[in-house]
Chains A and B, each alone.
Chain A
Amino acid sequence: MPDWVTLGPERTEIDLPHGHSVTYLPDVVIYDHPAHGEIRVNRVDGAFVAELPDGLPEDVVNASRNRVSITTAAGRLAVTRNKAETFGYAKDWELFFFTLDSPYYSRSAFEIFFGPQNDDTRGNIAGAAQDFWNNTLWRHKDVAWAMFETILMAFFGTFGAAMVALPVAFLAARNFTPLMSLRFFFRQIFDFVRGVDALIWAIVLARAFGLGPMTGALAILVTDSGSFGKIFSETLENVDEKQIEGIHSTGARPLQRYRFGVIPQVAPVLLSQVLYFFESNARSATVIGAITGGGIGLILTQAINTQQDWEQVTWYIVLILLMVIAMDTLSGWIRARVIKGGEDPVL
């Protein structure tokens, strides 16, 4: 326990800076504000009742039946049914690595790697990794999973859309489908699924598939098959007919003509377009995740909505930025390798 906490059987006192203090008693928590007096949080029949002193600024206390939170410049107190938590501020990575109940709390990296064993049942490095991964306050495990889910949504959505759109794009290209009404029909379908935004699709699909990364991925898939259908069919309209004629003259059937006459011509262009959408979708998957309940987007909006302090919001934003930059670099690198000297499509 840190030295600003005095534990007792009935009464626990916590000293915060600038003369603030918090006292835990059975069924009542008292926050002593030096400027405004005592804020008492009583528990009456399972609900919380906060007694506020006069002249207290409005944004200090946020009270409801099940939760009372008090935020001041000295620290913050949150009282819920299960527990009362008090946090002070520290200019450091306090609690980021290990919480107070971990034996590795406030140990340096050197002590963990080379020092004596802190825990009888676990080795130092394995134990520290376990406690870091399962940190209840910063939830590193959940955040890592959420980041993975976000990238998964972008990956599954983009490449699934490309696979759906490629065969259909042939039906919407002028030189492969001479029948105008058929072409027109498929173009209208592309325009429709593309015209409805991915967020709307996410809400529509959430009804069918429930909440989670699959719904987000499918929302991206539906919208992007429209975009890909349009781009792919336009690319297909620009292929060189000579190569197809050459393949045709050897007696190839239509499917073989497409495979050996068309696909080699358009593959680099299509792949670079798909990769461009992939990096763009890694960004929008964050937003879609906030709606469909998956990925880092949900965790971020939850952190913003709890209206606590902003340290976790900042951390998630930094993670999102790092993810976006990493995806941009990765897909830019692959794109440069796929089309050497080719031009980056500006879409």
Chain B
Amino acid sequence: MADAATNTPDRIAQIHSAYMALARRKRLYSGLILALFAVLFVSGFKIAEDRNASGFMNGIGDIFDFPSEVVAEAVEKSVNLPGHLVTYFPALLETLNIAAVATILGVIVGTVLSLLSTRGLARFPRLIPVFRRLMDLMRAFPQIVVALVLIFTLGFGPVPAMIAIAIHTAGAIGKLYSEINENADLKPVEGLTSVMFSMPSTFRASCSGRALRTRACSSPMPIATRRMSPGTIAMATSLSRSKASATMSTDRRRCRTG
């Protein structure tokens, strides 16, 4: 008893100092990472400021110049608004149409790709890595690049935008579905293949019911359109058509020298 009584404060002190040492080290590491981040952030700000046409402080007051001009002009010419609405309503529908067709195409291709790249379900198990890398590439290509290249080959119109979005959607959906399919229970699949069901009917009979519910929840539309809506793509492509970016770059050079 006496032994324990004399030891207790010692042990508490030991535990306390060990804990404090651990906490100090952790704080040191977090502090270092935070300092590194701060240095990167501040130097990044400086570089971006140097390479920009006008500085952050110069421009901060003028932020609302453009929106206020736009709104003022819109108010001034608000009489024309119903007419514009009628004129551009088809374009609005076209945008929705692009989104819908691109999503459907993307889901169809993505489903096929996901089946080809799911462990346990794939038709050609050895080619799984090939299909996975293919989907990585489909997702990695910026949509605007695909759209711009397709515009030169297919001409200006909704079709290049649609294909560009569909490619990205197929890559994203393929990855998402193959992960869901991998989590599906494979026992029914084994049962069906053991009685010589073919691959598509095996999938339909065993997985699709369960996986479909998960898929409906995972809603492909927002994924395809979250970062880049079809409207933006159409806008960006038309902007580059009108060589806005080229004139902008000359303006920037002028701003820098002048």
- The residue in chain A whose Cβ has the minimal distance to the Cβ of B54 is A210
Option from B67, B140, B149, B229 in Cβ contact (under 8 Å) with A324: B140
CB-defined contacts of A298 to chain B, threshold 8 Å: 245, 249
- The residue in chain A whose Cβ has the minimal distance to the Cβ of B240 is A301
- The residue in chain B whose Cβ has the minimal distance to the Cβ of A203 is B66
For chain B, the bracket of interface size reads 35 or more
Near B by CB (< 8 A), chain A positions 281-324 give 283-284, 286-287, 290-294, 297-298, 300-302, 304-305, 313, 317, 320-321, 324
Option from A156, A203, A205 in Cβ contact (under 8 Å) with B48: A156
Q: A291-B236, A293-B248 are in contact. Are A212 and B140 (CB under 8 A)?
A: no
Option from A208, A283, A321 in Cβ contact (under 8 Å) with B227: A283
Which of A152, A286, A290, A305 has the most CB atoms of chain B within a 10 A radius of its CB? A290
Q: A287-B236, A321-B141, A346-B218 are in contact. Are A210 and B252 (CB under 8 A)?
A: yes
- The residue in chain B whose Cβ has the minimal distance to the Cβ of A282 is B142
In angstroms, Cα B55 to Cα A289, docked, is 17
A214 adjacent to B49 (CB under 8 Å): yes
Q: A156-B44, A212-B252 are in contact. Are A294 and B66 (CB under 8 A)?
A: no
Q: A302-B249, A304-B240 are in contact. Are A208 and B60 (CB under 8 A)?
A: yes
In angstroms, Cα B36 to Cα A159, docked, is 13
Interface of B, secondary structure class, is: helix
B52 adjacent to A212 (CB under 8 Å): yes
A211 adjacent to B251 (CB under 8 Å): yes
B229 adjacent to A197 (CB under 8 Å): yes
CB-defined contacts of B176 to chain A, threshold 8 Å: 346
A165 close to B (CB within 8 Å): no
Q: A203-B66, A210-B59, A298-B245 are in contact. Are A283 and B44 (CB under 8 A)?
A: no
Q: A293-B248, A320-B142, A321-B140 are in contact. Are A205 and B63 (CB under 8 A)?
A: yes
B73 close to A (CB within 8 Å): no
A215 close to B (CB within 8 Å): yes
In angstroms, Cα B51 to Cα A206, docked, is 14
A211 adjacent to B144 (CB under 8 Å): no
B245 adjacent to A208 (CB under 8 Å): no
Q: A209-B54, A284-B228, A290-B240 are in contact. Are A305 and B245 (CB under 8 A)?
A: yes
Q: A152-B44, A208-B65, A301-B240 are in contact. Are A293 and B145 (CB under 8 A)?
A: no
In angstroms, Cα B218 to Cα A347, docked, is 10
The contact string, 1 if C-beta is below 8 Å from chain A, for chain B 216-258, is: 0010000000111101100110011001111011011001000
CB-defined contacts of A321 to chain B, threshold 8 Å: 137, 140-141
CB-defined contacts of B143 to chain A, threshold 8 Å: 287
CB-defined contacts of A302 to chain B, threshold 8 Å: 245-246, 249
A204 close to B (CB within 8 Å): yes
A207 close to B (CB within 8 Å): yes
State the Cβ distance, A253 to closest chain B Cβ, in Å: 21
In angstroms, Cα B248 to Cα A239, docked, is 47
In angstroms, Cα B151 to Cα A313, docked, is 14
For chain A, the bracket of interface size reads 35 or more
A217 close to B (CB within 8 Å): yes
The contact string, 1 if C-beta is below 8 Å from chain B, for chain A 111-155, is: 000000000000000000000000000000000000001001101
Near B by CB (< 8 A), chain A positions 329-347 give 346-347
CB-defined contacts of B137 to chain A, threshold 8 Å: 321
- The residue in chain B whose Cβ has the minimal distance to the Cβ of A304 is B148
A291 adjacent to B245 (CB under 8 Å): yes
- The residue in chain A whose Cβ has the minimal distance to the Cβ of B69 is A207
CB-defined contacts of B62 to chain A, threshold 8 Å: 207-208
- The residue in chain B whose Cβ has the minimal distance to the Cβ of A316 is B145
B226 adjacent to A347 (CB under 8 Å): yes
- The residue in chain B whose Cβ has the minimal distance to the Cβ of A212 is B52
Q: A211-B251, A305-B243 are in contact. List 10 more A-B contacts (CB 8 A).
A: A155-B44, A156-B48, A211-B53, A214-B49, A287-B142, A293-B249, A320-B142, A321-B141, A325-B140, A346-B218
A-B contact pairs, 21 of them (CB 8 A): A152-B47, A160-B41, A197-B229, A207-B62, A209-B52, A209-B53, A209-B56, A209-B59, A212-B51, A214-B51, A217-B48, A218-B56, A287-B144, A291-B239, A292-B248, A293-B252, A298-B249, A300-B148, A301-B148, A302-B246, A305-B243
The 9 closest A-B pairs by CB, nearest first: A210-B53, A212-B52, A210-B54, A214-B52, A209-B59, A207-B66, A208-B59, A208-B62, A211-B252
